[in-house]
Amino acid sequence: MKNTFTFPSDFLWGAATASFQVEGYPLADGAGPSNWSDFCFQPGRIANDDNGEIGPAHYKKYKEDVQMMKALGLKAYRFSINWARIFPEGTGRVNEKGVAFYNSLINELLDNGIEPWVTFFHWDLPLALEKKGGWTNRDTVVAFADYVSYMTKRISDRVKNFFTINEILCFTTLGYEHGIHAPGLKLDAKTCAQTVHHGVLAHGLAVQAIRAAADGPVNIGLAENLVTTVPMFGSEAHIEATRKAVRFENADKLTAIMEGQYLDSWLEKMGGNAPQFTDSEMLAIGSEIDFVGVNIYFPEIVEAADNENGYRIVPKPEGYPKMDMPWLHIGPEITYWIPRLLNEVWGVDAVYITENGCATQDKMAQDGEIYDTDRVMYLKHHFMQASRAVQEGWPLKGYFVWSLMDNFEWSYGYQKRFGLHYVNYSTLERIPKTSAKFYKEVIATNQVV
């Protein structure tokens, strides 16, 4: 029987990590502290009071990890740069040893046939800038653009694919309003809305900085955890409602970036809590990008409704199935619908799934194997939906699994494991799980096996 869940030969298979989650040694070789390295040592902030001091030690073991990627068959590796390794105070003095580390990693990847995809910001803000207000301060936006420009000049002779920023919600709202992430503040709604605006503006100015500084042609996008709307049923009424929902529910971030404006209906809803902005800022926010990267994990189910929005997000029942995270509800159809919606709503012609994966309760069996068949189930069904999207002609060009290895899972510390490779945090040994073996077969055959 012919396998119908196939992919084109040029489909990009990759894996993703983030600097603070995997590197360890955040102050090594002249690096400055970040808001996360500081946050970890505030009692009660992180589960078990874990920290990122060593973690998987990718900073020391990157050559071994590149060989692990090569064994997996990866075509690309998405990683982020720790801003404070480059500019210990966020601006001013350059730490050449920090630059040297990323140059060495990039060269190692290229020497092994793996394409580097660089994210300039994945939440770890230099602490010196945090102490000046962090993302509440517009000066941080300017400093970010300067850092991006500098690093683009240093690496774009070899790196051709760039993400400006990863998940604006997580370093703005979750850090400055909900207090879950660094810096752990609970500010008023209007101030928080301004941090979100600064996040999207930082993206826009970074796009311009990369274009101006790059050595030759480059591809630029962002990695955004948009509200992943899917229709309750496949009828046209629900699909049209879902188009409306993806636009409005992402009004302050992706919609603003794709359209270069805030929706009037969203500004009206925000009222006195709307951010302050200028026309020139919105022009920068709407800077043209080459692709959209989406970090997708769980669905928001939409139905058509007779209300002012034309849709309603349906609440999930208490027993709705989920993986080993309180928020990670199962809904593989997002992998089909998000590339389709991005194309239908905004005309996006290149979409990359920049994160997708799940936490599971990984335990080593007596034979030394980690049989994460639940993760295989999760990935397999997402891959099937990805294949459906590709075969129907929607512009899905590649997929980066989250994550290459177990890592520091932010406020959850080390108690949640997302990796294809098990990390023994005592010995730092990496052990491929069943999911790694499954992914290797998918990459090798370009089909869901």
Look at residues 302, 387, 389 and name the one whose alpha carbon lies nearest to residue 344: 389
CA angle 31, 208, 12 (to 5 degrees): 80
Question: Is the preceding omega at residue 326 within 30 degrees of 0, hence cis?
Answer: no
DSSP code at position 401: E
The predicted pLDDT at position 29 comes to 98
pLDDT confidence of residue 1: 55
Task: Tell me the catalytic residues.
Answer: 167, 355
Write out the two tokens for 85: 């390794």
Query: Which residue matches tokens 């690496």?
Result: 155
Query: 200: part of which helix (H) or strand (E)?
Result: helix 189-213
Token match 């826009």: residue?
204
Beta bridge partners of 353: 294, 399
Domain assignments of the chain as residue spans, ordered by start: 12-445
Q: Report yes or no on whether pTM surpasses 0.75.
A: yes
The amino acid occupying position 305 is A
**Beta-bridge partners for 423:** 430
pLDDT mean values, one per 10 residues, the chain (449 residues): 88 98 98 98 97 98 98 98 98 98 99 99 98 98 99 98 98 98 98 98 99 98 98 97 98 98 98 98 98 98 97 97 97 98 98 98 97 98 98 98 98 98 98 98 97
CA 92, chain centre distance (Å)? 28
pLDDT at residue 41, rounded to an integer: 96
Please say whether the beta carbons of 223 and 294 come within 8 A. yes
Specify the pLDDT at position 3.
79
**Burial class of 367 by CB neighbour count within 10 A (0 to 12, 13 to 18, 19+):** exposed
Give 432's strand partners.
421
**φ/ψ (deg, to 5) at 181:** -110, 170
Structure tokens at 291: 């692709």
The CATH topology of domain 12-445 is: TIM Barrel (3.20.20)
